[in-house]
Amino acid sequence: MSNPYEAPTGDLPTVTGGGPLPPPQEPGMVSQIRIVSILMMVQGTLDLLFGLGMIGMGFFMAFAMREAMVNDPQFQQGNGPPPELMVNMISWGYGVIGVVMALIGALNIFAGYRNWKYNSRTLGIVALVAGVGTILTMVGCYCFPTSLALCIYGLIVYLNASAAAAFRMGDEGYTGDEITMTFSPLRQGQSPFKQ
């Protein structure tokens, strides 16, 4: 009696529309690459939204503080820096943080999209590190912890030897489905790695 839960072997294609598949490879962490790429796009969207919100907050704060200066004569009294300088510093501060966060978000979205197709491994690593490497990401309290966790997880996956081989295949022109099939554990029945 055969085991109905055993993985099928020998039934998987060895040829695709682009030609024969490469020989089966050790799966390693290749199956995690697309998970990391999805998470990068989600994280990038959150960073981008936060950045756009900060840019909007810069405009709002400049408007609100200028209105307060006009309506409140005591606002301009005191020994501190001139109120107009403070308005500019606060609005530009929000704007700079917002632009940096929006750029990091856009980089993560683009890198996640490219990594989904097993392309641009280096861009993926740069995007992961940029999410936590920029001190301004700590301002977005909700962005930093998830970005740090994604960076650790993504670097573990992307620095795996099998993942590097999968990205090399993507750069050579293989499609995502061909790469997934090459590193599929189901094809291990056709390979010398089967124990």
Say if residue 8's pLDDT is above 70. no
Task: Give the per-residue pLDDT at 195.
Answer: 46
Token pair, residue 95, equals: 């704007």
Nearest to residue 158, comparing CAs of 130, 127, 112, 122? Answer: 122
* pLDDT tens digit sequence for 39-83: 999 999 999 999 999 999 999 988 888 887 777 766 666 666 777
Least confident of 19-23, 36-40, 117-121, 131-135: 19-23
- pTM of the entire predicted model: 0.78
192 burial type by CB count under 10 A (0-12 exposed, 13-18 middle, 19+ buried)? exposed
* pLDDT tens digit sequence for 153-162: 999 999 999 9
How high is the mean pLDDT of the chain? 82
Q: Which residue has the higher pLDDT, 96 or 193?
A: 96
Say if residue 21's pLDDT is above 60. yes
Least confident of 35-39, 73-77, 124-128: 73-77
Task: Give the per-residue pLDDT at 71.
Answer: 77
